[in-house]
Structure 1
């Protein structure tokens, strides 16, 4: 496909950059004092063909981060976007990139870096949906997929690459003929998490080989010291578009806790799922093993549960996400690999089965519900071992959480059934592992 396969539509609403009295400091736009009255994508400067794509996706009006970021991006400025989970960040960077691609079609035009495979596929879906009428080609470059097949995709020179840093470096070092020397746009989505996952070295390598003259968008839920350092290294006179306060949770989120003995966590979980039946749940577990075990337990009790964790293959992880998103499963048991950035629009309730060891992860977990102005509920299990961690969370969010009302007598009536389901889950796991002799033989 030639470079001009992207149908060229000159956006006649392009704005000229405004003068700035201070280019050596970050300019800041917030959703508070400078209230923005623009309500349509067209008024933001988005060209007609992309406005039509937004309409087809059901995007009737821009979200807060889109209102703040899109006009700035269309002026050609670098951006630091601080916004809560579910705020429409992908649209905030995808629309300006696609508009640039329309004006000047080019292969290997843009690179989007993400912390996880699932988020990469999700971003690609949105780019392809927004660019479906203009022939945009995307490539997802993540681990867990054959390098050779990815090399063949890269050889075709897609317009946009969405990648995890580690696998992208693999291709930059080993795939013959692959180069990003002509790159026009770099996006780092969930930048705080990219850095928390120890991708700093990979990001530094990428920054050294891509052009200095480029547009860079950095999006993050929190402005950590690592993100500030990256911003200084990667962005030039950026505009800060902040639409949420640090470590806040959304107003329409009802947050509760339950103080329970550790040995009865499964009983309380089943009781809550029964009480709130008909809702969709995302249940966070501290380990892959726990997510798998609880999913098996719930299935044995007739609850449509499915796990999502890092020890699953890429195909199984995507399959689990799709089943939950299509509502064929009402309960998703997840580790923190799924707690950030994924577009799962219908989560009614988040349950912290295992309390997060890092308080900031609480914000990201409960951000899976009450998205885009909808209401939602979160319930955190607090055992005798979790009191200090729970107090740190309350300090971080600046509020005392109320207790979720439960009837202990009714919960205790479930003990026998739940114990039987626990035994079943253990048996299934042991049968899948095989006998000790079989496990030894498999390692040879």
Structure 2
């Protein structure tokens, strides 16, 4: 008997892009890499032992010649050495670590999900991470089979978790990758071979130090580490944290005469703080056919200046970028600025490092950078790849000496230029007019002022940033504000707050008199001084800026603006902290204790509801009986007396009430709580309890039905009586009516009442009959008879004449 024919099962096809290569000579490529001499000069990529996919990718991207940093870093990186690479901005540092990542993983055949993560590239900002990933995809798409991904946040965490398990190369930001390392179970980094830190000095800085330390704890120690930046760190502590193994320090421009590109023209302008906005506006309006990048200290400043200039229409497209924007908006803005020919971008330091914006003509630094390294990174956005560029720095007179000394120490050549007085335009009146008509813009100006002042306050280099030397009142006026908003860290305000906190409590009248007497006096340091109004006259602008906005800005506006009548009790409080007896927004009721004259007078009922004070015989303490509390409150100190002014603290002393829930009809019921198992079994079997419950509910439903039927009969009876009353009224007014008011059909009424009492009547019996339409004033009262000619309508002119003749006799 012949066996049944069997069909061969098709072999499952593995995806080609995940399969390891077997047609390449890995030993030959490895031997060529081992034979590299780090000290030898290499000029082109073709002179290096590269794999064929990498050569094709570099050729497609038009990369052929090696830069200085690439020529020195690539041979060492191919051999697995740890590197500290420092080079000027725009010198090709990105390829200096991307090419070794591709080649080292290629020779190790770290391909596919089973190989795990082979390389991790960390960037300080999302924009820079996206740029690195685009370059990686460009040079790796011509034959490389690695699975690379971008993990920077702003997307679904679940999607990133699913993709991380398959990645061989990940480009990420510190915060997001740390979240996955601590939360994603399938994310395995045990096989990590390379760790790359782009802008390493920034990542090792205070902003990311904790995140980086936590990331290093998850990574294996036997890895290759590459650090690249324009201003590389040499601190022993930073290098020890990364567990570097005999690192090679490569600085191709350390012996150069300048730390910035030779094609970059750098100047600075001495601009007092109140004139910076005027100078910036004059510069933009006179440089319309250019691509300008403007750096500011904070995101609030970026938003405010962008909104003000957008309304004033300088004649050039305006964009703004800061870290508080959503990821999609940031990507769209950076893409628009890259493609734009003439545009002006207001930005913070989020774009100061590593980003490659093509053909930037001007880099304008309105606010002084925090150090020389930040200055170098900012101006590095222009004059890239040996192109020409210009940079200008606005310096306050108090910043000039210290900042120039630090730039000179970093080998930054910079020259001073002056602003032509005839070309500078004053825009203070226009900005003030805009703030007058737009409360939200006014509030944004207040936040811009406070954020800039805070950025000066937190600077470490007090030799350059001395807050006492800035004209803050003039700066607030240049922003269109009538005065400087309250700043809690200013020294004069802090001392005043401290004095008021330590001063003894006074009556309200004495405090107001002291406040009025102290108004207009200058503080010791002269930082924020109140100026007495000239002749006591308040202008319309004063009244406008004293007005509290009635919409969404009400609370924030009250916190930002000083009040001339508050005696500076709450001066220096930016976060809503109140020093005085009365809060700015929360109305706290003063609860009188006994016959204290300092308390406000309240009614007897209100006093009974809150507290009743009883003085002790000795006069040293008194007892307060709180409504709803079992034990009285003994007032024997000023601290205990303050409890009477806090409604929240008094609630803690009262007894706890029972919680209730409200049904659909608004009736309160006790909160349902589960019964103890033993108590439930003690009442009998579950089936018996169920039957008893059903019987009880059935009886309750029957009682409710009787009540509902009685109510329905009562409603029907009322309707019937109303109908009969209307019928009797109609018969009384009808002329020639035969029936009198008392001439009702008694038998019919008796039968109707009996039927309603038995409940056998139909529901239609209680319905009211449709009422006849009321007659109009022109209709006749008599009934119309078809045979009667007097009742017929007059339709023709002849009939009208005949009717008239009858009336005339």
Pick the aligned partner of 2:157 from 147, 163, 172: 147
Distance 1:441 1:412 in 2: 35
Distance 2:341 2:21 in 1: 38
In the alignment, what sits opposite 1:438? 552
In the alignment, what sits opposite 2:414? 401
In the alignment, what sits opposite 1:126? 135
Tell me the SS of whatever aligns to 1:409: coil
> Could you tell me how far 1:275 is from its partner in structure 2?
3.1
Tell me the SS of whatever aligns to 1:216: strand
> Could you tell me how far 1:436 is from its partner in structure 2?
5.7
Distance 1:303 1:62 in 2: 38
Pick the aligned partner of 1:386 from 375, 385, 399: 399
Q: Deviations over 1:333-384 (max 9, x none)?
A: 1111211111223222110011113232111111111112112111001123
TM-score, reference length from structure 2: 0.49
Tell me the SS of whatever aligns to 1:408: coil
Tell me the SS of whatever aligns to 2:354: coil
In the alignment, what sits opposite 1:176? 185
**Is the 8 Å Cα contact of residues 259 and 412 (structure 2) preserved in structure 1?**
no
Q: Deviations over 1:40-92 (max 9, x none)?
A: 11112223321221122222312221111112212222222111222211111
Distance 1:294 1:6 in 2: 55
**Is the 8 Å Cα contact of residues 101 and 194 (structure 2) preserved in structure 1?**
yes
1:105 matches 2:114: no
**Is the 8 Å Cα contact of residues 260 and 381 (structure 1) preserved in structure 2?**
yes
Pick the aligned partner of 1:205 from 181, 194, 214: 214
In the alignment, what sits opposite 2:570? none
1:334 matches 2:355: no
**Is the 8 Å Cα contact of residues 295 and 346 (structure 2) preserved in structure 1?**
yes
| Cα distance change on mapping 1:194 and 1:53 into 2, 3 Å | same
**Is the 8 Å Cα contact of residues 291 and 334 (structure 1) preserved in structure 2?**
yes
In the alignment, what sits opposite 2:320? 307
Distance 1:374 1:231 in 2: 38
| Cα distance change on mapping 1:436 and 1:105 into 2, 3 Å | farther
> Could you tell me how far 1:437 is from its partner in structure 2?
4.2
The correspondence of residues 262-341 of structure 1 with structure 2, limited to 5 A, is 262-300=273-311, 301=313, 302-327=315-340, 330-341=343-354
1:193 matches 2:202: yes
In the alignment, what sits opposite 1:364? 377
- Count of residues paired in the alignment: 428
Distance 2:300 2:444 in 1: 15
1:256 matches 2:370: no
In the alignment, what sits opposite 1:245? 254
> Could you tell me how far 1:435 is from its partner in structure 2?
5.8
In the alignment, what sits opposite 2:95? 91
Q: Which structure exhibits the higher relative contact order, with contacts defined as CA atoms closer than 8 Å and separated by 6 or more residues?
A: 1
> Could you tell me how far 1:143 is from its partner in structure 2?
3.6
> Gapped runs of 5+ residues in structure 1?
21-28
In the alignment, what sits opposite 1:26? none
1:47 matches 2:51: yes
**Is the 8 Å Cα contact of residues 86 and 250 (structure 2) preserved in structure 1?**
yes
1:376 matches 2:389: yes
1:64 matches 2:68: yes
**Is the 8 Å Cα contact of residues 187 and 217 (structure 1) preserved in structure 2?**
yes
Pick the aligned partner of 1:219 from 207, 211, 228: 228
| Cα distance change on mapping 1:159 and 1:421 into 2, 3 Å | farther
| Cα distance change on mapping 1:419 and 1:132 into 2, 3 Å | farther
**Is the 8 Å Cα contact of residues 308 and 334 (structure 1) preserved in structure 2?**
yes
> Could you tell me how far 1:309 is from its partner in structure 2?
0.9
**Is the 8 Å Cα contact of residues 111 and 162 (structure 1) preserved in structure 2?**
yes
In the alignment, what sits opposite 1:24? none
Distance 1:425 1:40 in 2: 59
Distance 2:374 2:56 in 1: 37
Q: Deviations over 1:91-128 (max 9, x none)?
A: 11111111223331334221111111211111111111
| Cα distance change on mapping 1:422 and 1:7 into 2, 3 Å | farther
Distance 1:348 1:118 in 2: 20
**Larger strand share, 1 or 2:** 1
> Could you tell me how far 1:416 is from its partner in structure 2?
6.0
> Could you tell me how far 1:398 is from its partner in structure 2?
4.2
Q: Which moved more, 1:254-263 or 1:324-333?
A: 324-333
**Is the 8 Å Cα contact of residues 260 and 383 (structure 1) preserved in structure 2?**
yes
> Could you tell me how far 1:192 is from its partner in structure 2?
0.6
Q: Which moved more, 1:197-206 or 1:341-350?
A: 197-206
Distance 1:431 1:82 in 2: 40
In the alignment, what sits opposite 2:771? none
Q: Which moved more, 1:130-139 or 1:371-380?
A: 130-139
